Chain A
Amino acid sequence: MGSHSTVHYNLDEKYDFTPEAKKRVLMWLFIGLAMFGVGLAMLIMGGGDHGHEVAHGATAGHGGAHAPTWTARLYAVLWHNALFFTGISLIGVFFVSIQYVAWAGWSVTIKRIPEAFGAFLPFSFVAMLVIFLLGGHDIFHWTHADAVAHDEVLQGKSAFLNTPFFLVRMVLFFGLWYFIWRIIRGYSAKEDLEGGLTYYNKTITVSAVFLIIFGVSTSMVAWDWTMSINPHWYSTLFGWYHFASWWVSGIATIVLTVLLLKEKGLLSFVNQNHLHDLGKFMFAFSVFWTYLWVSQFLLIYYANIPEEIIYFKERMHLYDGHYRGLFFFNIIINFLFPFLFLMTRDAKRQTILLKIAAIAIIIGHWLDFYLMIMPGVTKGTSGFGFLEFGTVTVFASAFIYVISTQISKLGLLAKNHPMLQESLHHDI
């Protein structure tokens, strides 16, 4: 419907990551580093007391072996952010692959945004590797040979949970993800220059391969990087729950990036209908995340098996209810808020409302990962201070810097994509 007049878009539109913009992002990076430094200094000076306080509370599968020190909080915070931003970068590649495999037409005009996200993978890989090598003992109880020696359950898992195999998996998965992202991105660039259907068809094949690898690896990294923090605890759903949280955060980040570029007067070919579809994705997958949250919680709550219920006990009751508020806030911000806020059609079509929802969802799922990681590593000694806000500022600035650079490398529109006209005329 609507008018028959043809709007002429600039098919070669590019984003220019200007020196001033770079400076601004780097300034935030340094502010983040400064906050991190202050936070760390405060933590070291005040760290001793906390450790003792919580020593008796540390029952979560560690048998109160040793209380967390200040380094536990430090590495947990770093790990939390590295993991969160790894997820967002990976979801960018996943989003693009799905669009190809599903023959989606509507998303061509926004495709270049998630497509750029994969560029952060090498950085988050280095971050995760370094954090693991430095702080692995603080984060992962199973890395202590002496603890494993006195623990039959951990001995049983040692064929899987051992440092060399853990590192092999980490390198392998990051390697595969990045390698495939490079291929997809390369084809996308060549399609701009040469046109034709060759690269489109090739990308479909590569995307299908990526989806297979992604399907297996996201569950495995969830076991490795998050579930094994509580090495005695297990839940078959955890891999998919972890993925769902990444997936919603990734979609919200795509939405936010699109909106910020539109605010700069770019992406004029992204119309309200594209935003509406992106809003539907945020809405639907927030509900999907909730579905998995309920499934996991309800079944563990019902069965009430000590080995399993401890996970929720830690988050609801233990450590003097340290995580209780956050536990309930998690459901409010990640389910109730997007569910009610994005329910109407208008909410999904108006820039400002969509922006609020995207920011809330990103914060909400950042907190969801916080809640997955902190209790197992820091017991009741976690908090929100300069350290946490500094670290997330550093990671977010680095992410923005890398992604902005990557976005500026190619045109904002995949101008030779065979579905381009469908997307330019997208109207729902």
Chain B
Amino acid sequence: MNVTSSVREPLVTGGKTWADITNDICRQVEGKPSKSWIIAFTFSVLLLGVGVFCVMYTWFVGIGVWGLNKTVGWAWDITNFVWWVGIGHAGTLISAILLLFRQKWRTSINRAAEAMTIFAVLCAASFILLHMGRPWLAHWALPLGNTYGSLWVNFNSPLVWDVFAISTYLTVSVVFWYIGLIPDLATIRDRATNKISRLIYGTMAFGWNGSAKDWSRFEAVSLVLAGLSTPLVLSVHTIVSMDFATSLVPGWHTTIFPPYFVAGAIFSGFAMVLTLMLITRKVFHLEDYITLAHVESMNKVITLTGSIVGVAYITEFFIAWYSGVEYESYAFINRATGPYWWSYLAMMTCNVFSPQLFWFRSVRRSILATFVISIVVNIGMWFERFVIIVTSLHRDYLPSSWAYFTPTWFDIGDYANSFGLFFTLFLLFSKFLPVINMAEVKAILKSAGDVQTGQATGNAKVKSNETVSHN
């Protein structure tokens, strides 16, 4: 027996029934692509086309086409990589960690968030290939050892750990996401009206028949994968942070990096989920499934993680002064007042100040404000990585080699490529697969649907203070 307190807001509104959920979410999979989808998809593919041209040119000519110089050897490439990997944290966090915390609101957003995670990790991986300059030697990052000569990869290097962490994370995320899709794919198969869809969705559904045995296995596998994903998702950004923190570069070598990077990753990941879901919700008319209660909960996570990041910024700044180390202090003063002061200002404003607006309930529950802030946060998180990477490098120990990094069109074009890839994949996903996990939303309907819990405004009446559902 489960009880849901009446102080909790319903998570499914509009008096939906189990059948309504299936119809509402399958509608866009089964129907013809809408006009807005076709326009968005065309634009994304065009962007991807331009991006692919830039990437091919970069590989053909070499990474000299970027604005790198002898002092700043990492700039937009690694900034973009870290930014995308960070975004790719939200899906697994929502599916695994919010599952452990029994947050029912995750059910409406986990599917899209996981899909977004996979696409973001692919975008991140593209920058690893890009910054190698010679992508045909990418397999050298794997520990293949003597097969290719007498040298192993350097196991002491966090760059190698990155290869393991991210490839494992990508694999587990894809498996987790796909397994979660199976019951929904079977629903679409069962509703299919033409042979081709039945064949495609039927193949993808792996012969799911909805028996108790199927569900029992499904739940066992999901639990194991959730258990695996939790440490994995934390390990990924921890190791990304160690790409910097194991070095001796002032501004990079600081012990707070691992947890602070993870908090920042969740922060930007949630912001990206919000950006995408607020559009999806509007275009696909899913307001009854992604309610203001969902938006508000996500905004709270953004406020929390944004504040953790803020405390970390202040801690770094304070300890740089407190340490009494000249180079540490200079690195941080240079961030704030040096030639890149504008990027530091962008980072502070977007990441530390903007989420504080969510302390006001009216802002947390405003779709427009949330949409704007979600984009602002991701701009800020891009600048955070830019600040960490470029401003720590551009004035190194030898003042004679101090330099300034300016991006070229190919820095911008290669970045655009990742957006093209990301949106193309996301649009394909949102058209051909159910963007909301039907099976899981159905599972919470009894305890969180407005009519089912007697919280519907209108005809349904509030029966008692507490609603008891027997299941």
- Asked if A303 is at the interface of the complex by the 8 Å CB criterion, the answer is yes
Residues of A267-316 contacting chain B, CB below 8 A: 280, 284, 291-292, 295-296, 298-300, 302-303, 305, 307
B96 to chain A, nearest CB (A): 12
Query: Given A157-B322, A215-B307 in contact, is the A236-B256 Cβ separation under 8 Å?
Result: yes
Which residues of A sit under 8 angstroms from B246, Cβ to Cβ?
298-299, 302-303
Expressed in whole angstroms, the Cα–Cα distance for A156 and B247 within the complex equals 25
Given contacts A234-B323, A236-B319, A302-B246, contact A421 B307 (CB under 8 A): no
Known: A234-B323, A240-B256, A299-B253. A418 touches B245 (CB 8 A): no
Q: How far is B1's CA from A297's CA once the two chains are assembled, in angstroms?
A: 46
Q: How far is the CA of A153 from the CA of B328 in the complex (A)?
A: 14
Q: Roughly how many angstroms separate A232 CA and B319 CA in the complex, as a whole number?
A: 11
B 434-469 contacts with A by CB, 8 A: 466, 468
Inter-chain CA distance A235–B254, complex, in Å, is: 7
Chain A residues with Cβ below 8 Å from B213 are: none
- Complex contacts, A215 vs chain B, CB 8 Å: 307-308, 311
Interchain CB contact under 8 A, B248 and A299: no
Number of interface residues of A (CB under 8 A): 48
Q: Is the CB of A292 within 8 A of B259?
A: yes
Query: Do A291 and B259 touch across chains, with their CB atoms under 8 A apart?
Result: yes
Distance in Å from the Cβ of B7 to the closest Cβ of chain A?
5
Most A C-beta atoms less than 10 A away, residue of B3, B247, B248, B470: B3
Kindly state whether residue A2 has any CB partner on chain B within 8 Å: yes
Q: Chain B, 209-243, contact with A by CB distance < 8 Å: what is the 0/1 string?
A: 00000000000000000000000001000100010
Point out the residues of chain A lying under 8 angstroms from B471, CB to CB.
1
- B 271-310 contacts with A by CB, 8 A: 307-308
Cα A152 to Cα B325 in complex, Å, equals 11
Chain A residue at minimal CB-CB distance from B156: A302
Q: In residues 334-389 of chain B, which contact A (Cβ within 8 Å)?
A: 359
Given contacts A200-B7, A236-B256, A237-B259, A305 and B319 within 8 Å (CB-CB): no
Is B315 part of the contact surface with A, judged by Cβ < 8 Å?
yes
Q: Does A380 sit at the interface, judged by CB under 8 A?
A: no
Contact bitstring B256-269, A, C-beta under 8 A = 1, else 0 = 11110000000000
A421 and B466 form a contact (CB under 8 A): yes
A55 at the interface (CB under 8 A from B): no
Q: Answer whether residue A197 sits at the interface, using C-beta atoms and an 8 A cutoff.
A: yes
Q: Given known contacts A236-B316, A237-B256, is B1 in contact with A427 (CB within 8 Å)?
A: yes
A385-428 contact mask (Cβ, 8 Å, vs B): 1 or 0: 00000000000000000000000000000000011011011011
- Considering the complex, which residues of chain A in the window 205-225 have a beta carbon less than 8 Å from any beta carbon of chain B? 208, 212, 215-216, 219, 223
Interface membership of B36, Cβ < 8 A: no
Interface size for B (C-beta < 8 A) is: 40
Contact with B along A311-340 (1 / 0, CB 8 A): 000000000000000000000000000000
* Chain B residues with CB below 8 A from A160, complex form: 322
Q: Closest approach, in angstroms, between the C-beta of A229 and any C-beta of chain B? A: 14
Docked CA distance A418–B253 (Å): 48
Task: Please determine whether A157 and B324 come into contact, CB atoms closer than 8 angstroms.
Answer: yes
B2 located at the interface, meaning its Cβ lies under 8 Å from any Cβ of chain A in the complex: yes
User: For the complex, what is the distance from the CA of A197 to the CA of B5, rounded to whole Å?
Assistant: 12
CA A299 to CA B257, docked complex, whole Å = 9
Would B311 and A419 count as touching, CB distance under 8 A? Answer: no
Is residue A103 within 8 Å, beta carbon to beta carbon, of the partner chain? yes
Q: Say yes or no: A296 contacts B1, CB within 8 Å.
A: no
- B254: chain A residues at CB < 8 Å are 236-237, 299
Q: Say yes or no for B430: interface residue by CB 8 A criterion.
A: no
B408 at the interface (CB under 8 A from A): no
Q: Is B255 an interface residue (CB 8 A)?
A: yes
Interface centre among A2, A223, A237, A291 (most CB of B within 10 A): A237
Interface assignment of A264: CB less than 8 Å from any CB of chain B: no
Q: A1-24: which residues lie under 8 A (CB-CB) from chain B?
A: 1-2, 4
Residue B168 is within 8 A (CB to CB) of chain A in the complex: no
B4 at the A/B interface (Cβ < 8 Å)? yes
Query: A425 touching B324 by the CB < 8 A rule?
Result: no
Task: Give the distance in Å from the alpha carbon of A2 to the alpha carbon of B2 in the complex.
Answer: 10
- Asked whether, in the complex, the Cβ of A421 is within 8 Å of the Cβ of B248, the reply is no
Q: Report the separation of the CA atoms of residues A212 and B311 in the bound assembly, to the nearest whole angstrom.
A: 10
Q: How far is the CB of A184 from chain B (nearest CB, A)?
A: 18
CB nearest to A106 among chain B residues: B102
B256 and A419 form a contact (CB under 8 A): no
Across the interface, name the chain B residue whose C-beta is closest to A238: B255
The answer to whether B253 touches A303, judged by C-beta atoms less than 8 angstroms apart, is: yes
B1 contacts across to A, CB distance below 8 A: 1-2, 4, 425, 427
A235 touching B255 by the CB < 8 A rule?
Answer: yes
A237, B470: Cα distance in complex, Å: 47
Q: Verify B315–A239 contact, CB threshold 8 A.
A: yes
Give the docked Cα–Cα distance between A280 and B1 (Å): 22
* Alpha-carbon separation in the docked complex, A103 to B104 (Å): 12
**CB pairs A–B below 8 angstroms (6 shown):** A212-B307, A295-B259, A303-B253, A418-B6, A419-B5, A422-B4
Please give me the 10 A-B residue pairs with the lowest Cβ-Cβ distance, nearest first: A236-B256, A237-B255, A295-B258, A153-B324, A302-B246, A156-B324, A234-B323, A425-B3, A237-B256, A421-B3
Given contact pairs A153-B324, A427-B2, a sample of 4 additional A-B residue pairs in the complex whose CB atoms are under 8 Å apart: A2-B1, A216-B311, A236-B256, A424-B3
A interface residues (Cβ-Cβ under 8 A, vs B) = 1-2, 4, 103, 105-106, 152-153, 156-157, 160, 197, 200, 208, 212, 215-216, 219, 223, 232, 234-240, 280, 284, 291-292, 295-296, 298-300, 302-303, 305, 307, 418-419, 421-422, 424-425, 427-428
